[in-house]
Chain A
């Protein structure tokens, strides 16, 4: 079964609203989680690296005030897309690193559509 759970799996929202996506590690503690976005038929693009208890590290070109990341516990990280616009419509995926085994597990992704 899935070891990383993402919620919601899909969401539709109006332009200007904010959307929160959750990423949970179910069977292990994840000190590090990663957030990605993926456009159709394109590769995963790393947005940010989230470390528990500290500020996220954003990749170049990713607006930290636009994409708020919180990693408040060892099993939960959240991504909030603030003031969403149609161009933010994408497939957002998280992954979590099991520090003990070195395995990197991905969530099933969240499809965001902004109208």
Chain B
């Protein structure tokens, strides 16, 4: 079983709408959690990195939350744009740079 589970697997929303992506993990001990955006055919780009003590972190229209007790994270996208269409990948790190990747959520924003 993958140590990082993302949901939903895919999501289609209309431009301007909000959405929330989920990432649940079992990686332990926990070091940090990263969210990446990957456009088709490109390398992933970092959106945010969260450590144990951080609950919420915002970056423009992206807001990430982390509940280290329940081992859950979410990525909320506000006022979606067509350019938000991409795969969003959750990466959880344990000790010794041991990184575990979620399978990603493929988001499609339609006009």
Contact = CB atoms under 8 A, between A and B. Distances in A.
Nearest to B103: A43
Q: Which of A106, A107, A108, A109 has the most CB of B within 10 A?
A: A106
B46 interface: yes
Q: How large is the interface on A (under 10, 10 to 19, 20 to 34, 35 or more residues)?
A: 20 to 34
Q: How large is the interface on B (under 10, 10 to 19, 20 to 34, 35 or more residues)?
A: 20 to 34
Given A46-B99, A104-B34, A109-B41, A41 B106 contact: yes
B89 A97 contact: no
A93 B38 CA distance: 12
A6 B43 contact: yes
B101 A46 contact: yes
A79 to B, nearest CB: 14
A34 interface: yes
Nearest to B31: A102
Interface string A96-115: 01000011111111010000
A49 B97 contact: yes
Interface in B21-79: 32, 34, 36, 38, 41-46, 49
B100 to A, nearest CB: 9
Q: Which of B36, B44, B104 has the most CB of A within 10 A?
A: B44
A93 B41 contact: no
Contacts of A97: 97
Contact of A44 (B41, B42, B46, B89): B89
Nearest to A45: B101
Contacts of A32: 97
Contacts of B101: 43-44, 46
Interface of A: 4, 6, 32, 34, 41, 43-44, 46, 49, 91, 93, 95, 97, 102-109, 111
